[in-house]
């Protein structure tokens, strides 16, 4: 049994890519995309005809609508390969506008439904700002399920659980990056590996809290830097993994041990917390890592959205 096959015994494996031609070899259940992954894909020769065809068919529509058409077209192709769900992201520039996020999510879902895809197979990705979480709360009431991304802190996770969102994507690798950079030459890689990795510890805390209190929101670890981080989270509800790391898992026969366990979480002593807008913003502000990485993540996704617009306009 490969490490990938062993991992699938405990965790739903998701592919983190816009490159749908790579997917079948790993047999993931779901797939996630974001503006950066789609931008990377459309610049490859294999996908340029798909981009040109989609833009040509909708040239008379507003630019933001054409971009959503491109994102959905990739999602439709992905859904031909995976049996489960695809995650498609709302423009990161709307991360602080609840009403605009809701409207964009509704439009993306309508595009999928017009193509014959049921709502159950689509997750709308939204940044885990206070405004994004409130948009997700409203969308979930409409039966539009959401994947709250750019999640770096416990307070974001608790607020998402309270909002009843379908799924969260805590970013393991970017948390690791921040702490490693802060430590500089004092960073001890061995001491901060596996279950001691700061990103792994963050996801473990969130998973245990959700399971302890019976919160139904799914936890999907994301943004991995190495296989060690993935294996340290075996047992998490889902893990979304890049094709490069999926290939490493597939090529390995290292045994996989379950690390996260719902029964152990339910038996643990954990204190309940709750956030309103003011306490959420303060808790996030107190977490320098989460504040910086959330802001940086939104900026990076927004910049790639602008680049994607430029490619579309050039056609």
Q: Report which DSSP code applies to 288.
A: H
Query: Residue 42: CA atoms inside 13 Å, Cβ hemisphere, count?
Result: 27
The Cα 25–Cα 306 span in angstroms is 32
Q: pLDDT at position 78, please?
A: 97
CATH of the domain at 258: 3.20.20.70
pLDDT above 90: percentage of residues in the chain: 100
Q: What is the pLDDT of residues 290-309, one digit of tens each?
A: 999 999 999 999 999 999 99
Closest CA to 88 of 135, 147, 136: 147
Query: Residue 138: CA atoms inside 13 Å, Cβ hemisphere, count?
Result: 15
Reported as a pLDDT band with limits 50, 70 and 90, residue 35 is: confident
Q: What is the pLDDT of residues 279-291, one digit of tens each?
A: 999 999 999 999 9
Closest CA to 234 of 256, 206, 211, 216: 256
- By three-state DSSP, how is residue 217 classified? coil
Tokens found for residue 85:
């769900």
pTM score: 0.97
Q: pLDDT at position 188, please?
A: 98
Q: pLDDT at position 85, please?
A: 98
Q: pLDDT at position 309, please?
A: 97
Q: Report which DSSP code applies to 91.
A: P
Q: pLDDT at position 69, please?
A: 98
Q: What are the angstrom distances between the C-alpha of 70 and each of 59, 154, 225, 242, 311?
A: 12, 33, 28, 21, 11
User: Strands 146-151 and 86-89: what pairing?
Assistant: unpaired
**Whole domain around residue 296: which residue ranges?**
3-314
Number of domains in the chain: 1
Is 293 one of the catalytic residues? Answer: no
Question: Active-site residue among 21, 40, 125, 271?
Answer: 125
The Cα 3–Cα 9 span in angstroms is 10
Q: What is the pLDDT of residues 206-237, one digit of tens each?
A: 999 999 999 999 999 999 999 999 999 999 99
Q: How far apart are the first and last CA of the chain?
A: 47
Q: What b/e sequence results for 10-31 when a residue is b if at least 16 CB atoms lie within 10 Å of its CB, and e otherwise?
A: bbbbbbbbbbbebbeebbbebb
């Amino acid at each position: 049994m490969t490490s990938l096959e062993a991992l699938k015994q405990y965790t739903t494996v998701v592919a983190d890519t816009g490159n749908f031609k790579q997917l079948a070899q790993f047999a993931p259940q779901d797939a996630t995309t974001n503006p950066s992954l789609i931008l990377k894909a459309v610049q490859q020769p294999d996908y340029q005809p798909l981009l040109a065809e989609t833009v040509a068919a909708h040239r008379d529509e507003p630019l933001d609508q054409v971009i959503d058409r491109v994102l959905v077209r990739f999602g439709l192709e992905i859904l031909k390969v995976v049996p489960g769900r695809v995650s498609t992201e709302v423009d990161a520039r709307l991360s602080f506008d609840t009403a605009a996020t809701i409207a964009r999510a509704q439009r993306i879902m309508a595009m999928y439904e017009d193509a014959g895809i049921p709502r159950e197979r689509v997750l709308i990705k939204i940044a885990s700002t206070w405004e994004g979480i409130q948009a997700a709360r409203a969308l979930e009431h409409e039966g539009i399920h959401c994947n709250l991304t750019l999640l770096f802190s416990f307070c974001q996770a608790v607020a998402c659980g309270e909002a009843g969102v379908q799924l969260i994507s805590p970013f393991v690798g970017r948390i690791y990056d921040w702490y490693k950079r802060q430590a500089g030459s004092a960073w001890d890689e061995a001491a901060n590996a596996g279950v001691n990795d700061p990103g792994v510890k963050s996801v473990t805390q969130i998973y245990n809290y959700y399971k302890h209190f019976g919160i139904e929101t799914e936890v999907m670890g994301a943004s991995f830097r190495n296989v060690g981080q993935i294996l340290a989270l075996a047992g998490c509800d889902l893990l979304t993994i890049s094709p490069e790391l999926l290939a490493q898992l597939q090529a390995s026969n290292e045994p996989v041990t379950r690390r996260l366990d719902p029964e152990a979480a339910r038996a643990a002593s954990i204190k309940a917390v709750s956030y309103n807008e003011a306490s959420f913003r303060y808790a996030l502000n107190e977490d320098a890592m989460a504040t910086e990485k959330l802001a940086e993540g939104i900026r990076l996704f927004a910049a790639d959205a602008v680049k994607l617009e430029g490619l579309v306009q050039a056609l």
